[in-house]
Structure 1
Amino acid sequence: METWSPTISGDTGPKYRAIVKALAEDIRSGRLPPGARLPPQRALAKQLNVDLTTVTRAFNEARRTGLINATTGRGSFVRGHAPNPTEIRRPDPSGSVDFSMNMPPQPIVARLAERMETGLSRLAGSPGFLDRMQYQDSAGNMADRAAAAQWLGRRLGPLPVHRVLVGGGAQVVLAAVLAVIFKPGDALCVPALTYPGLRMAAERRGIRLVPVACDEDGLDPEAFLESCKADRPRALYVVPTLDNPTTVTLPMARREQIAEVARSHGVAIIEDDAYGALPPDAPAPIASLAGDITWHVATLSKCVSPGLRIAYVAVPGTNEAVRLAAELRAINMMASPLTAALASQWIADGELDAIVAAIRQENGLRQAVVRETLQGLAVRAHPYGHHLWLRLPELWRRGEFGAHARQLGLSVVVSDAFSVGPAPEAIRISLGAASDAETLRYGLSLLATLLAHPPGAITTVV
């Protein structure tokens, strides 16, 4: 692939940016596969008839944004199978790496800033734009609900618009769903390790959380059955695909068993499908099996960007939609009409699919870095996810490890944040906030080094 020749003649911006843009497009299209070696900078400059400094600046920008890796004496490679560094290097003076915020990465190939600029410009020039800037129905206007039904329908099957609502992020929607279903003191079944945002919302409403045992395949249907008999819960909360924090995806057979148990005991299901759009082969959502008892919540924050703050929810029926709309109005009035309109436009023209595909690809590249740097450790991960679950070696306790990690400028989330009951010696590591591959590799390598030493040897590690 050292004969790679980017096309930059039609680009009116700076030439170094045109090279980076062409590189990103060729990576996204597959023309440049992971591990491909790029031409030497001097040869590429001669080929393109530009200054060497232009190519150098382009390669530096591509490396900074995580498109390529470069090793002195070996050349530049498309990320994925580039040579490993032989030592931990600090990528910036601060040395801090955030592994705590569970957000999708924002790779340059997603062209998020460019797509937002273009999309907002189109919206501003469209008929009725000023109407979009007024107060909207708390369930979302009909155009946005139709777009939401189209997006959800790809995995759930055809959905009537009156069963689909638009909310200002999953946290708002989950709080509203809890308000519709529960009274203080009611029981909610949750996995023994569960999403902290759900825990917080439930505890604020005085809802009693009932932990349900899980195994390697996720929530145990037999344990759920026993909880239904003993605790008479009003609902079950579950993240069926790429569970947060464990990364487990429930097999299809288990989803069917859970739906059957819930239906036979009159228990609603709150299906938090935050990551369902990421794996190309994810099993069908529970709502596709039991839509009449399932509240299906799908946020764009975990598969596109937290800045959109848009979540779609499919409810069991018309009555539930009316009640949920009232709660959404009380909690948050409405989702942002501007970001809702942008998301609808992206669904219609395929831009949302392209962004998700780019993030899926980036997650795969970052998971390759995980496999390289955390070999031999008890890591559970998914090839298309942007978080992982790590069981600590016996020599470490979670609180102590978290404190030592902070001393090194690394922020992780210990298992206490997720545990409903006794907490295991484990941490969640989120991969999306790291700005590029070099930063991610540095942080993970430092974590691996820390894990390999007993707590008393920490000063030696530093």
Structure 2
Amino acid sequence: MRAMNQPATVRWQPAIAHRPGPLYRAIAAALAEDIANGTLPPGTRLPTHRDLAWDLKVTVGTITRAYQEAERQGLIGGEVGRGTFVRDPRRLTEPVADTGGTLMEMNVGLIDLSVNATALWPDAGALTAATQAVAQRPDLVALMSYQTPLGHPRLRAAIADWLADSANMHVAPEQVLLAVGGQGAMLTALSAVTRPGDTLLVEQLTYTGLRAVALHLGLRLVPVAMDAHGLLPDAVEQAARAHGAHALYCMPTLQNPTTATLSLDRRRALVDVARRIGLMIIEDDVYGFLKQPAPPTLYSLGPDVTLYISSLSKSLFPGLRTGYVVGPRPLFDRLATILRATVLAPAHLGVVVAAELIDSGEAVRIAQRRRALVAERQALARSVLSGLDLTGSDHAVTHLWLPLPENVRREELVRGALERGVKITSADGFSPGKGEVQNAVRICLLGVDHASQLEKGLSVVESLISNPVATSAAWV
């Protein structure tokens, strides 16, 4: 039997002759395809650059570019001294039916606990009512015309109201800029305060979407130390001085993936650091609505050194594609120019529906239902995983951060769970750079509709951790 910490390297030889374009892209496309179809499950160790180059009769540089492209897409990741591993398994294409049978009996796909989605079905009626109300608006056609890159004033006013309700953050409508989703808000904010080649400070474990934006903008990510309570302000200052960084991206409330929330003292200290050394903070508050009462945002404490970004994807509906940026007035012209160049103007129909939900008071009720559902799912998860260490996970958020015992390796747990029909995410997916990664996994709680699905998925994870021999069987 192979030792648990020594997974076998597969002899992977993709068929690339029929694929168009450069060889490195063909190899990356074949890699993505074999990950998607399950030929290369998560945790699989890939051939070395030299071995694969020899097998395919291509240069080592071609393999390096192919692996870099796959890593850019979040499919694989490297660990110094251990090799290159599959990071992102095939996506769930159909929901798992709640049949009441075992995972083997269902045989209809995965129980996907890897996507930090929010359960939308309880609020389907509210969405239908809002869209019907929008359809009857006498100014609907006018709202569908070209707007300024900042967004229509009435729609910006609705977002300002939402910020007051959900984040206890009081801003004037003219301070709000509308973007296409949270990812668009992030791209806009980072584009405004960085240039290609700049260093961007990030938390030691960070949101995967941030890494994609940073790569697109040509930014160098430098991770900053955290503890169980989140980002360390002193470490931020040290890293900024050491690397000449002028920007920091962070999630101070219900951080993804660790769920940590910064204390008020740390928030004030972080703002003080930013003012003292000339650092601009990009504060991502997408999960902040779940934390009630809402802690003061970094923007509220330091509006001169903070760009606040968020969206309605977690609190309402991702399909609304409604993101927003609030920042210092001197940056507004720059932000507007970026919005004009990238999207011209916000996605009006989604923002109009969002404004209807906010103005009618339904958005507040949806947020309340989301918090209640999170509490239910957290209670279920903590019951199933009662023997495991969940002390670092905040009860208020949509996912769990689960540090693993020393005798269970995260890659093997992810692979073993997938082979049993459950998909979770290794800590590797959140590491902004090379080096040692915490032995932990993230488990999302609201991506499946039925509590019975979640319970089955969690039971698989719990059994694999309690019986690591079963996990290591994958490496026999």
TM-score by length of 2: 0.75
Q: Counterpart of 1:378 in 2: which secondary structure?
A: coil
The answer to whether the 8 Å contact 1:450/1:458 transfers is no
What's 1:97 paired with?
A: 111
Tell me how far apart the structure 2 counterparts of residues 90 and 431 of structure 1 sit (CA, whole Å).
21
What's 2:430 paired with?
A: 418
Change (3 A) 1:126 1:438: same
**Mapped pair 1:443 → 2:457:** yes
Q: Counterpart of 1:250 in 2: which secondary structure?
A: coil
- How far 1:386 sits from its partner (Å)? 0.7
The answer to whether the 8 Å contact 1:392/1:398 transfers is yes
Give RMSD over aligned pairs.
2.2
Name whichever of 335-344 and 157-166 sits farther off.
157-166
Report how many residues are paired. 374
Q: Counterpart of 2:308 in 1: which secondary structure?
A: strand
**Mapped pair 1:116 → 2:127:** yes
What's 2:243 paired with?
A: 231
Tell me how far apart the structure 1 counterparts of residues 217 and 469 of structure 2 sit (CA, whole Å).
40
Tell me how far apart the structure 2 counterparts of residues 118 and 228 of structure 1 sit (CA, whole Å).
49
1:130 partner amino acid:
V
What's 1:211 paired with?
A: 223
Q: Provide Cα deviations, 1:37-88, integer angstroms capped at 9, x if missing partner.
A: xxxxxxxxxxxxxxxxxxxxxxxxxxx999xxx9xxxxxxxxxxxxxxxx97
Tell me how far apart the structure 2 counterparts of residues 261 and 147 of structure 1 sit (CA, whole Å).
33
What's 2:140 paired with?
A: 129
Q: Counterpart of 1:424 in 2: which secondary structure?
A: coil
Change (3 A) 1:264 1:98: same
Matches within 5 A, 1:53-92: 92=106
Tell me how far apart the structure 1 counterparts of residues 394 and 409 of structure 2 sit (CA, whole Å).
25
* Alignment gaps of 5+ in structure 1: 1-63, 71-86
Change (3 A) 1:95 1:201: closer
Tell me how far apart the structure 1 counterparts of residues 254 and 208 of structure 2 sit (CA, whole Å).
15
What's 2:441 paired with?
A: 427
Q: Provide Cα deviations, 1:152-193, integer angstroms capped at 9, x if missing partner.
A: 234354322222111111111111111111111211111110
**Mapped pair 1:392 → 2:391:** no
The answer to whether the 8 Å contact 1:405/1:412 transfers is yes
**Mapped pair 1:298 → 2:310:** yes
**Mapped pair 1:372 → 2:383:** yes
Tell me how far apart the structure 1 counterparts of residues 239 and 254 of structure 2 sit (CA, whole Å).
23
Which of 265, 268, 277 is the equivalent residue of 1:265? Answer: 277
Q: Counterpart of 1:354 in 2: which secondary structure?
A: helix
Change (3 A) 1:359 1:65: farther
The answer to whether the 8 Å contact 2:248/2:281 transfers is yes
What's 1:408 paired with?
A: 420
**Mapped pair 1:141 → 2:152:** yes
**Mapped pair 1:182 → 2:194:** yes
Tell me how far apart the structure 2 counterparts of residues 401 and 335 of structure 1 sit (CA, whole Å).
41
1:438 partner amino acid:
S
The answer to whether the 8 Å contact 1:191/1:237 transfers is yes
Tell me how far apart the structure 2 counterparts of residues 117 and 91 of structure 1 sit (CA, whole Å).
35
1:367 partner amino acid:
Q
The answer to whether the 8 Å contact 1:102/1:386 transfers is yes
- How far 1:137 sits from its partner (Å)? 2.1
2:230 partner amino acid:
G
Matches within 5 A, 1:322-341: 322-341=333-352
Name whichever of 301-310 and 150-159 sits farther off.
150-159
Tell me how far apart the structure 1 counterparts of residues 202 and 312 of structure 2 sit (CA, whole Å).
23
**Mapped pair 1:106 → 2:120:** yes
What's 2:296 paired with?
A: 284
The answer to whether the 8 Å contact 1:91/1:442 transfers is no
Q: Counterpart of 1:302 in 2: which secondary structure?
A: coil
Matches within 5 A, 1:191-202: 191-202=203-214
What's 1:3 paired with?
A: none
Tell me how far apart the structure 2 counterparts of residues 93 and 458 of structure 1 sit (CA, whole Å).
23
Q: Provide Cα deviations, 1:311-359, integer angstroms capped at 9, x if missing partner.
A: 1221111x31221122123223332211101111211121000001001
The answer to whether the 8 Å contact 1:212/1:223 transfers is yes
The answer to whether the 8 Å contact 1:95/1:409 transfers is yes
Matches within 5 A, 1:149-160: 149-154=160-165, 155=167, 157-160=169-172
Tell me how far apart the structure 1 counterparts of residues 413 and 471 of structure 2 sit (CA, whole Å).
12
The answer to whether the 8 Å contact 1:373/1:448 transfers is yes
Q: Provide Cα deviations, 1:12-58, integer angstroms capped at 9, x if missing partner.
A: xxxxxxxxxxxxxxxxxxxxxxxxxxxxxxxxxxxxxxxxxxxxxxx
Matches within 5 A, 1:320-359: 320-359=331-370
2:380 partner amino acid:
V
Tell me how far apart the structure 1 counterparts of residues 133 and 168 of structure 2 sit (CA, whole Å).
30
1:136 partner amino acid:
Q
- How far 1:395 sits from its partner (Å)? 1.9
- How far 1:300 sits from its partner (Å)? 0.8
Change (3 A) 1:413 1:333: farther
1:185 partner amino acid:
G
Tell me how far apart the structure 1 counterparts of residues 121 and 130 of structure 2 sit (CA, whole Å).
18
The answer to whether the 8 Å contact 1:65/1:435 transfers is no
What's 1:311 paired with?
A: 323
What's 1:173 paired with?
A: 185
TM-score by length of 1: 0.77
The answer to whether the 8 Å contact 2:185/2:310 transfers is no
* Alignment gaps of 5+ in structure 2: 1-95
1:426 partner amino acid:
A
Name whichever of 439-448 and 389-398 sits farther off.
389-398
